[in-house]
Amino acid sequence: MSDARDRPWTVLELLRWTTDWFGERGLEGARLDAECLLAHALGCERLRLYLEFDKPVSAEERARFRELVRRRGEERVPVAQLTGRKEFWSLDLAVTPDVLVPRPETECLVEAVLEALPEPEAEYRVLELGTGSGAIALALASERPKALVTATDVSAAALAVARGNGERLGLGDRVRWLEGDLFEPVAGERFDAVVSNPPYVAEADAAGLAPELAHEPRGALFAGADGLAVLTRIASEAAVHLQPQGVLALELAPEQAPALGARVAAAGLVEAGVRRDLAGRARVLVARRAAGPGTES
Ligand SMILES: C[S@@+](CC[C@H](N)C(=O)[O-])C[C@H]1O[C@@H](n2cnc3c(N)ncnc32)[C@H](O)[C@@H]1O
């Protein structure tokens, strides 16, 4: 992308050059990344680029694009943080360095909760722990218009992003955003479903992780030596916040499923199944609170 040319670069030339450069640096999805960043620099939709392959790009636009490309290729900043946007469950969400970039596999968690709460018009009470950008809470609020959704996070900065997303999407009055440690802001309350994608990366794995993760909040990723610290706390405390027959749905790393299943059972919940992501890996554990005698604590 050097300036030593006597004619301007076109959209297609910039895409080809950048895709090759990203590819040489080992970035997966090099072409898609190049398209997202160029569309952002030009202030247009990504698909618009396909109609404008031959259009020359101005020096000012190219300077904006060059900086985005450098940060993606050299600093390995995730594309969503460079554009400030990420789509989740067809919702256009704002993201900042204060929140985890919502992952496609987390849609599996939303599907599990919707399956457990099947009535579209029911007034379900739903709790999400660790909401980050608000992705899960807002997806559930959009699919169950009469549900009262409560979302918590320890990070005030993350909650500000989530609240902003709720307002922009017209779902702001459907979600109660509360700051605090796990269930602490909802003491004494019970829900039809408790859902969470908590931090679950093992500290022991930190050295081998993709460099992109260094740009996301540590508190959104890591949870003790084996990654189970927060999941275990949620499993142990969930029963007193669930209605009889209420559902607990947790995202986890595939290798954590057996250990967490044992924790859930020890906490008096009945495991209702493990859901797999598109790659066929165990991704979500679903459990229910039993409805019988002795479960009314
Ligand atoms: C993996 S991120 C998930 C964000 C979002 N729910 C998503 O799926 O994209 C975990 C979130 O949990 C929050 N968190 C971590 N520990 C927490 C705790 N003890 N209580 C409440 N929230 C916590 C983090 O601040 C972060 O926003």
**Ligand 1 atom nearest to 106, measured from its CA:** 8
Predicted local confidence at residue 294, as pLDDT: 45
pLDDT above 90 coverage of the chain, percent: 92
Checking if the pLDDT of 293 tops 70, the result is: no
User: Which mutation among 87, 91, 100, 179 tests ligand 1's pocket best, with the greatest number of atoms within 8 A of CB?
Assistant: 100
- The answer to the question of residue 82 being in a domain is no
pLDDT above 70 coverage of the chain, percent: 96
**Alpha carbons 225 and 124: distance in angstroms, whole number:** 36
Residues 45 and 180 in one domain: no
**Ligand 1 atom nearest to 101, measured from its CA:** 9
* CA neighbor of 147 nearest in space, from 192, 101, 212: 192
Residues 15 and 121 in one domain: no
Last residue in a domain, options 75, 96, 125: 75
Predicted local confidence at residue 212, as pLDDT: 95
Residues 102 and 31 in one domain: no
Name every protein residue with a CB atom under 6 angstroms from any ligand 1 atom.
100, 102, 106, 129-133, 135-136, 152-155, 158, 181-182, 197-199, 219-220, 230
- Write out pLDDT tens, residues 114-146: 999 999 999 999 999 999 999 999 999 999 999
Instruction: Measure 12 CA to ligand 1 centroid, in angstroms.
Output: 40
Residues 32 and 106 in one domain: no
Residues 138 and 223 in one domain: yes
Predicted local confidence at residue 7, as pLDDT: 78
Amino acid 254 reads P
Residues 268 and 136 in one domain: yes
Q: How far is CA 286 from the centre of its chain?
A: 18
Torsion angle of C-alpha atoms 234, 184, 227, 274, degrees rounded to 10: 30
Predicted local confidence at residue 295, as pLDDT: 45
Mean of the per-residue pLDDT values of the chain = 94
Residues 150 and 261 in one domain: yes
Edge-first strand listing for the sheet containing 282-289:
175-179, 148-153, 125-129, 191-196, 242-251, 282-289, 269-276
- The answer to the question of residue 124 being in a domain is yes
**Alpha carbons 297 and 293: distance in angstroms, whole number:** 10
- Write out pLDDT tens, residues 231-279: 999 999 999 999 999 999 999 999 999 999 999 999 999 987 999 998 9
Q: What CATH number is given to the structural domain containing 59?
A: 1.10.8
**Ligand 1 atom nearest to 200, measured from its CA:** 1
* CA neighbor of 42 nearest in space, from 56, 67, 61: 61
Residues 122 and 146 in one domain: yes
Checking if the pLDDT of 64 tops 60, the result is: yes
**Ligand 1 atom nearest to 130, measured from its CA:** 12
**Alpha carbons 85 and 95: distance in angstroms, whole number:** 5
Q: What CATH number is given to the structural domain containing 203?
A: 3.40.50.150
Last residue in a domain, options 50, 75, 100: 75
Strand partners, 150: 127, 176
Checking if the pLDDT of 296 tops 50, the result is: no
**Ligand 1 atom nearest to 128, measured from its CA:** 6
DSSP per residue, 48-63? GGGG-TTPBPPHHHHH
Model confidence band, residue 1 (pLDDT cutoffs 50, 70, 90) = low
**Alpha carbons 46 and 268: distance in angstroms, whole number:** 49
C-beta of residue 87 within 8 angstroms of C-beta of residue 40? no
**Alpha carbons 141 and 132: distance in angstroms, whole number:** 15
Torsion angle of C-alpha atoms 41, 210, 278, 193, degrees rounded to 10: -90
Q: Which domain holds residue 204?
A: 88-289
- The answer to the question of residue 83 being in a domain is no
Residues 23 and 108 in one domain: no
Helix (H, G, I), strand (E, B) or coil at 195: strand
Domains identified in the chain, total number: 2
- The answer to the question of residue 275 being in a domain is yes
* CA neighbor of 33 nearest in space, from 18, 45, 55: 18
pTM for the structure as a whole: 0.94
- The answer to the question of residue 155 being in a domain is yes
Model confidence band, residue 106 (pLDDT cutoffs 50, 70, 90) = very high
- Write out pLDDT tens, residues 160-210: 999 999 999 999 899 999 999 999 999 999 999 999 999 999 999 988 999
User: Which mutation among 81, 153, 163 tests ligand 1's pocket best, with the greatest number of atoms within 8 A of CB?
Assistant: 153
- The answer to the question of residue 6 being in a domain is no
- The answer to the question of residue 37 being in a domain is yes
Pairing of strands 91-94, 85-88: antiparallel
Residues 195 and 59 in one domain: no
Residues 155 and 223 in one domain: yes
Compute the chain's Rg from CA coordinates: 22
Checking if the pLDDT of 6 tops 80, the result is: no
Residues 117 and 254 in one domain: yes
Instruction: Measure 133 CA to ligand 1 centroid, in angstroms.
Output: 9
* 218-239: average pLDDT: 96
Model confidence band, residue 5 (pLDDT cutoffs 50, 70, 90) = low
Checking if the pLDDT of 297 tops 60, the result is: no
Tokens representing 205 are 């794995």
- The answer to the question of residue 276 being in a domain is yes
Helix (H, G, I), strand (E, B) or coil at 150: strand
